[in-house]
Structure 1
Amino acid sequence: MTEIEPFPVSIPEHDLADLRARLDHVRLPEAETVPDGTQGIGLARLQNLLAAWRQHDWRSLEQRWNAIPHYRTRLDGLDIAFWHVRSPEPDAFPLVLTHGWPGSVLEFESVIGPLTDPVAHGGSAADAFDVVVPALPGFGFSERPAEVGWTPGRTAQAWADLMTRLGYERFGAHGGDWGAFVSTELARLAPERVAALHLTMPIASPLPEDVATADAAEQAMIAKRDMFMMTGPTHVIVQGMLPQTLGYSLLDSPAGLAAWLSEALVAFSDTRPEAGGGVSVAQQVDDIALYWFTGTGASAARWYWEAVRWTPRSAEAQNAQAVTVPTAFTLFPGEPFPVAKRWAERRYQNLISWNEMTYGGHYAGWEQPGLLVSELRNAFRQARIR
């Protein structure tokens, strides 16, 4: 189908009953033998998460979901699902928001209203957006690829085609995690159409001379990046090498899926009480349930298998793929792989904003939605003027 069709969400009742039965009969291992989290998500935490999932009201989530205009269309041979909300303001600026893993379009649920109807949320009509929120291939209600090749670059081309199909010649792009990769590629692919770019995760790395001349702040960033590469990227390694093997557990065991996703949802968020505690249990369960009912644990994991064979590995190779469109960054302290401004500006050659926040982590739309809305409004104000 090349047309755009409404795509209301309705999971069959027998799928809900099957999940309830599985949750009632989960098999869990004994407790971890260390208290510091180095063996992974602890038994008590997972038990609490599963208890919350047993009480989860999927039908209520469906009602929230279907209250947002949801559609599906075929792009490059794959059915892509997306929210598309037009603003009541006639001069609204089109904006495509792209999520990552282990997130979903649900990351942006809370920001759609303030972005599309700022007046109703205490803002100015001049900051209104038409918002498009597509699910990555193999995530959520987008179709699961049956062939190799769905990289961030191919996805960016699909997003460009989607915006054309929706009638938007010129637009802005935002992303974090894989969404940052896709949005960066979209800006490189169609710089004449992407009026500006906003990212919460710069895709940039230090050159050897940057490491040699790093100041104290950059040395701390490098140490954090090194520590992450030693202990943090288990999901990158496993999903990049054996997504199919892992996928059997993610599709067959709700406990396995919950543990795998929650590990990253908590580890990469800002869990300090003064920061709001990170991604809440309720938000985690919504996201985990979406993965479960759409059967996308394996297909989402394959993104890593595809991307590790596609992504430039060195800073030099990244910088060679320059981005020339106006680019704004919002940096959150809970980001596990920090980037210094001078590393990023070599690749993103038209840097218009670099804002470092006090609170927040990898999942801005869940953790700090108000801040994200404010940063998006600021980032695209000049892009509206042509």
Structure 2
Amino acid sequence: MWRQLLEDGRSAFNDHWPHSLLIPATVGLGGALLCWKLNGRNIKTLELGEGWWGPGEKPHTHGEDTRVRPFVVEASESDIEDLHRRLDGTRFFSPLEDSRFHYGFNSAHLRTLISYWRNKYDWKKQVKILNKYPHFKTTIEGLDVHFIHVKPTHLNPGQKVYPLLMVHGWPGSFYEFYHILPLLTDPGNHGLNPNIAFEVICPSIPGYGFSEAPSKTGFTAFAAARIFYKLMLRLGFNEFYLQGGDWGSRITCLLSQMKSESVKGLHLNFVMQMPGGLGWMMSLLIGRYAPWLVGLTREDVKRIYPFMEKNVFTTLRETGYLHLQATKPDTIGSALNDSPAGLAAYILEKFSTATDMSFQDLEDGGLDRKFSLDDLLTNVMIYWITGAISSSVRFYKENFTRNFNNTPDIKMAISVPTGIAAFPCEMAHAPPVWAKQKFHNIVSYTYMPRGGHFAAFEEPELLAQDIQNFVSKVEKI
């Protein structure tokens, strides 16, 4: 197989690249690879730091309240009545013929969604589902941090349990993990390895859902990582595993760099890692025709180039929300916090295109192909009931304003054991050869057969199995 792959690569390379360019291209590539290898070795550990995000000055008269308090999600009649009144008053606009989801959330389908939300969706029923797992709050750095804490239900005598911190992103929430939780905490009854059971902690990022929003500017992923580390210590875990996608990936990576001695392993389903400058260009140019020369596999080629060939247009089309949230979050926050229909359209459009880009060709955005409407609307309701949309989108402003591409972690490798689940419909693909420039101890890398950005929500069985396989390799079970 490898001989054939080598011959195919050489043939393709010879067909598209003159022999006179082979030596300089190879030399240039070698230099780029050397830069990759040397990059990220200047800093060994990120400073943990300290912060205070509550209102006013940090009190000095007494220590922080470290109690862990039970919390229950409630469904008040006044909230439901206000929601229904606003849904009844939705101002719809005329759809374009055959626009589907190419202009954003299809305005014709929005009528269908709002009708379901108003007349069939049962918030009280969904609150009971939310409360089936234990919820808690605790105060850290002046903020009431919300989390769910789920312990295994069926264990063999003396069986080891693995603590796992799972962190969501935007526009998700802790609810993204509700379908994967039983697979991780009770694997034997769900067709998975019964010997690898997890005790799972799923916090809400401050400013999201039921976690209190920071009162001060400057709350970045660094602060979130530090707060979640303190949360794990408060719960009695000095060593633990991490899992994340989207912002959760950034936060867990930072925690791994801050406290590598506490992180037994880092599992990610979203990795944004590309070689910089000349290395990136050489990898892309050569990899299209001779992937073997730059360490790419055929699967990498299948995933990278359809995206890269449309990269400029795709980036412009799919990242408008990011530019807005990273610059003027309170402007869009004001609109979304006032209109449940607008909030649903804004959030659920991402659950269409980020799940599968081809869903934009469908009238309904393919929303019910991977999710139920009840699940999607429950995630929206967590933003609506808590009024968290404004503070959640501010997280982009805080992170991107502060020179996102020149923060201390950029030049620092991640040395903890790492597992990567590469889902094919994710917007960006980081092949192993690129990922290794940042993650120096990749224990497992899996080309997942299906799925997109919201992995735990879309494909809980696939993700749970990959997490188990990763931990089994780290623990050598």
TM norm structure 1: 0.94
- Aligned 8 A contact 1:279 1:363 in 2: no
**More divergent stretch after superposition (216-225 vs 90-99):** 216-225
- Aligned 8 A contact 2:94 2:108 in 1: no
> Could you say which residue in structure 2 is the equivalent of 1:61?
126
Aligned to 1:93, what secondary structure does the other structure show?
A: strand
Give the distance between the partners of 1:195 and 1:292, measured in 2 at CA: 36
Equivalent of 1:262, from 333, 348, 352?
348
Equivalent of 2:443, from 331, 336, 352?
352
- Aligned 8 A contact 2:152 2:199 in 1: yes
> Could you say which residue in structure 2 is the equivalent of 1:334?
425
Give the distance between the partners of 1:110 and 1:311, measured in 2 at CA: 36
> Could you say which residue in structure 1 is the equivalent of 2:105?
41
> Could you say which residue in structure 2 is the equivalent of 1:162?
231
Aligned to 2:242, what secondary structure does the other structure show?
A: strand
Quick one: which amino acid aligns to residue 2 of structure 1? T
> Could you say which residue in structure 1 is the equivalent of 2:396?
304
- Aligned 8 A contact 2:209 2:386 in 1: yes
Question: Is the alpha carbon distance of 1:38 and 1:276 closer, same or farther for their aligned partners in structure 2, counting shifts above 3 Å?
Answer: closer
Superposition map of 1:77-88 within 5 A: 77-88=142-153
C-alpha distance after superposition, 1:126-177 (max 9, x if no partner): 2100000000111111011111122111101111100001111100000000
Aligned to 1:236, what secondary structure does the other structure show?
A: helix
Equivalent of 1:148, from 198, 217, 227?
217
> Could you say which residue in structure 2 is the equivalent of 1:211?
281
Q: Does residue 337 of structure 2 align to residue 251 of structure 1?
A: yes
Question: Is the alpha carbon distance of 1:325 and 1:311 closer, same or farther for their aligned partners in structure 2, counting shifts above 3 Å?
Answer: farther
Q: 1:352: how far off?
A: 1.2
Q: 1:221: how far off?
A: 4.3
Question: Is the alpha carbon distance of 1:177 and 1:385 closer, same or farther for their aligned partners in structure 2, counting shifts above 3 Å?
Answer: same
> Could you say which residue in structure 2 is the equivalent of 1:234?
320
The percent of aligned pairs where both chains have the same amino acid is 32
Question: Is the alpha carbon distance of 1:8 and 1:143 closer, same or farther for their aligned partners in structure 2, counting shifts above 3 Å?
Answer: same
> Could you say which residue in structure 2 is the equivalent of 1:291?
383
Q: Does residue 90 of structure 2 align to residue 26 of structure 1?
A: yes
> Could you say which residue in structure 1 is the equivalent of 2:136?
71
- Aligned 8 A contact 2:423 2:447 in 1: yes
Aligned to 1:51, what secondary structure does the other structure show?
A: helix
- Stretches of structure 1 that go unaligned for 5 or more consecutive residues are none
The alignment of Structure 1 onto Structure 2 pairs a total of residues equal to 385
Quick one: which amino acid aligns to residue 300 of structure 1? S
Q: Does residue 453 of structure 2 align to residue 367 of structure 1?
A: no
**More divergent stretch after superposition (116-125 vs 44-53):** 116-125
> Could you say which residue in structure 2 is the equivalent of 1:116?
185
Equivalent of 1:281, from 360, 369, 373?
373
Over the aligned positions, Cα root-mean-square deviation in angstroms equals 2.2
Q: Does residue 258 of structure 2 align to residue 189 of structure 1?
A: yes
Give the distance between the partners of 1:342 and 1:22, measured in 2 at CA: 51
Give the distance between the partners of 1:276 and 1:41, measured in 2 at CA: 14
Q: 1:283: how far off?
A: 2.2
Equivalent of 2:405, from 313, 321, 332?
313
Question: Is the alpha carbon distance of 1:153 and 1:164 closer, same or farther for their aligned partners in structure 2, counting shifts above 3 Å?
Answer: same
**More divergent stretch after superposition (119-128 vs 356-365):** 119-128
> Could you say which residue in structure 1 is the equivalent of 2:468?
377
**More divergent stretch after superposition (209-218 vs 252-261):** 209-218
TM norm structure 2: 0.77
Give the distance between the partners of 1:260 and 1:253, measured in 2 at CA: 11
Quick one: which amino acid aligns to residue 231 of structure 1? R
Give the distance between the partners of 1:254 and 1:36, measured in 2 at CA: 21
**More divergent stretch after superposition (125-134 vs 46-55):** 46-55
C-alpha distance after superposition, 1:256-287 (max 9, x if no partner): 10111011111100367999823443322111
Give the distance between the partners of 1:175 and 1:75, measured in 2 at CA: 21
Quick one: which amino acid aligns to residue 43 of structure 1? S
Aligned to 2:446, what secondary structure does the other structure show?
A: strand
> Could you say which residue in structure 2 is the equivalent of 1:134?
203
Q: 1:293: how far off?
A: 0.6
Q: 1:224: how far off?
A: 5.0
Question: Is the alpha carbon distance of 1:317 and 1:207 closer, same or farther for their aligned partners in structure 2, counting shifts above 3 Å?
Answer: farther
Question: Is the alpha carbon distance of 1:182 and 1:59 closer, same or farther for their aligned partners in structure 2, counting shifts above 3 Å?
Answer: same
C-alpha distance after superposition, 1:112-134 (max 9, x if no partner): 11111222323333210000000
Question: Is the alpha carbon distance of 1:63 and 1:134 closer, same or farther for their aligned partners in structure 2, counting shifts above 3 Å?
Answer: same
Give the distance between the partners of 1:375 and 1:227, measured in 2 at CA: 33
Quick one: which amino acid aligns to residue 333 of structure 1? P
Structure whose CA Rg is larger = 2
> Could you say which residue in structure 2 is the equivalent of 1:107?
176
Q: 1:36: how far off?
A: 5.1
Aligned to 2:200, what secondary structure does the other structure show?
A: strand
Q: Does residue 278 of structure 2 align to residue 222 of structure 1?
A: no
C-alpha distance after superposition, 1:174-208 (max 9, x if no partner): 00000000011111111000000000111312323
Aligned to 2:178, what secondary structure does the other structure show?
A: helix
Quick one: which amino acid aligns to residue 280 of structure 2? D
